[in-house]
Amino acid sequence: MAACYEQHDWIILGGTVAGRLAAQQATRSGLRVALIEPLEPETRPWAELLVSQGAALAAGTIDWRSLQRQAQWHDRLWGDQRAALAASGVDCLVGDGLLMRHRNQWRVQLGDRLLAGRRCLLALPGRSTVPLWTEQAPVAAYTPDTIAQLAHRGVRPGERWLVTADSPMAIELAQVLRGLGAQVTLAAAGDRVLGGLPAAAAEWLQAELEAQAIEVILRAAPQQCKVLEGQTWIQVGDRAREVDCLLTDGNYQALLPKGFEQLCPRAIGIGDWPANDRLQLPLAPELYGCGALLGGHPIGAIAATEAQLIIRNSLQNPIQRPHCIRYEQQPWAVRGPLPLAVVGGGEGPELRSTALTLAAGRCQIQHDHQGQLQGALLLAAGAIEAISTVAALIARSGTIADLAHLPATESPAIDLLRRTAQQAWIADRSRP
């Protein structure tokens, strides 16, 4: 007797906020969805909670017990959200299902459940791994996924930490460690403190880190470590440094489902997967991906936008032009005592830039020859909230005049944006 598969419009292999948002949107559109999440989802609650403790760091201490209670509450909330999704009509399952392909269907076997769908979305969690060379010496190595282990030992004042600048989260945690009294060295493999940042933003961020007494080393990826006279030394650039602990967010890759190696052998070893305008992966028909699977910095808001656009495009006629994500319009930030927020920030002769430095912080605005906004960099208190205003203006083809006429508020970041735009607008009008 042939096995009977439960039919769905979408099979979503999740474990992320992006996967849940996609399932919610598809269900609201009248589609039947199966959401399968692994036992360990991508939440990183400890890393997020540590970064949010900026006020407590002024005293150089953190209430680890309070953090532990907050992390436990976060885990309960994650389970409650799954129950709410199930109540809305999403078929929610937990476990590592076996992914299969049969004719024009994607199939998943999970225990005694057999699921089938015409489309499959991989909204998978990602994980970072510590470098293999750390096995040569007993250095305590952490990633944002394992940072919860600090709750058992804390951060000792004067402890020497080496942090590799692989992601915004790594740089954010480096500032947390410095606030707790550790000696922090930040090593970046490239010529900028964080890949993907515009040159001006990278310079600002490096200056802010150095102002916090964080040593920044560029073009110097850690390579090997040795133990000499009971001390661990790690080679960074042209010199070795004595290190007690290592923090890295490198080699961040999606956790692939069981059975995927047999379905897509060409994909094994691929770090950043290629995708078309619909975020459809060319490895197999009706297979879509978002977030960790596509590479780049692990930024949850962008992954959520990708997932929702995938569902939106699936509801329209295939001959219609798809709704594409414009990554240059997606704001992102590096949190810290003085956060850095970025949207756009391209470089080229067709762009004009106006920069302003005040006591509140720094701002740079890019616009074209017609005055249309193309991007902004902002280093100031409240920058993360303020940059969303610029992103909204860019999305609707706003101009520097629109930004210059923002109403006055008590936010220093908004005031800095407005005054920079006024300076750019006046300079633009004075040009012949």
Q: What pLDDT, on the 0 to 100 scale, is given for residue 267?
A: 54
Q: What pLDDT, on the 0 to 100 scale, is given for residue 239?
A: 85
SS3 for 222-287, per residue?
CCCEEEECCEEEEEECCEEEECCEEECCCCCEECCCECHHHHCHHHCCCCCCCCCCCCECCCCCCE
Distance CA 164, CA 189 (A): 8
Q: What pLDDT, on the 0 to 100 scale, is given for residue 269?
A: 47
First to last CA, the chain: 81
Q: What pLDDT, on the 0 to 100 scale, is given for residue 4?
A: 86
pTM of the model: 0.91
Total structural domains within the chain: 3
Q: Which domain-ending residue is among 247, 269, 303?
A: 247
Could you list the residue range(s) of the whole structural domain that residue 344 is in? Answer: 328-430
Residue 117 shares a structural domain with residue 205: no
The answer to whether residue 222 is domain-embedded is yes
Q: Which domain-ending residue is among 325, 350, 383?
A: 325
Residue 259 shares a structural domain with residue 122: yes
Domain with residue 58: its CATH number is 3.50.50.60
Residue 361 shares a structural domain with residue 339: yes
Indicate if the alpha-carbon torsion angle 2, 121, 45, 184 is positive or negative: positive
Q: What is the DSSP secondary structure assignment for residue 123, as one 8-state letter?
A: -
Domain with residue 402: its CATH number is 3.30.390.30
Distance CA 72, CA 425 (A): 50
The answer to whether residue 1 is domain-embedded is no
- DSSP letters for 6-69: EEEEEEEE--SHHHHHHHHHHHHTT--EEEEE-SS-S--HHHHHHHT-TTGGGGT---HHHHHH
Q: What pLDDT, on the 0 to 100 scale, is given for residue 265?
A: 61
Contacts for 106 with CB less than 8 Å, ≥ 6 apart: 11, 99, 100, 116, 117, 118, 119, 120, 286, 287
- DSSP letters for 165-222: --SHHHHHHHHHHHHTT-EEEEE-SSSSSSTT--HHHHHHHHHHHHHTT-EEE-S---
Residue 139 shares a structural domain with residue 190: yes
Residue 345 shares a structural domain with residue 411: yes
Q: Which domain-ending residue is among 202, 226, 247?
A: 247
Residue 15 shares a structural domain with residue 68: yes
Q: What pLDDT, on the 0 to 100 scale, is given for residue 102?
A: 86
Q: What does pLDDT average to in each consecutive run of 10 residues of the chain (432 residues)?
A: 82 94 96 93 80 66 84 90 96 93 90 93 89 75 88 85 91 93 93 91 96 94 81 85 90 83 62 76 84 83 92 85 86 93 81 92 93 94 94 93 89 94 84 64
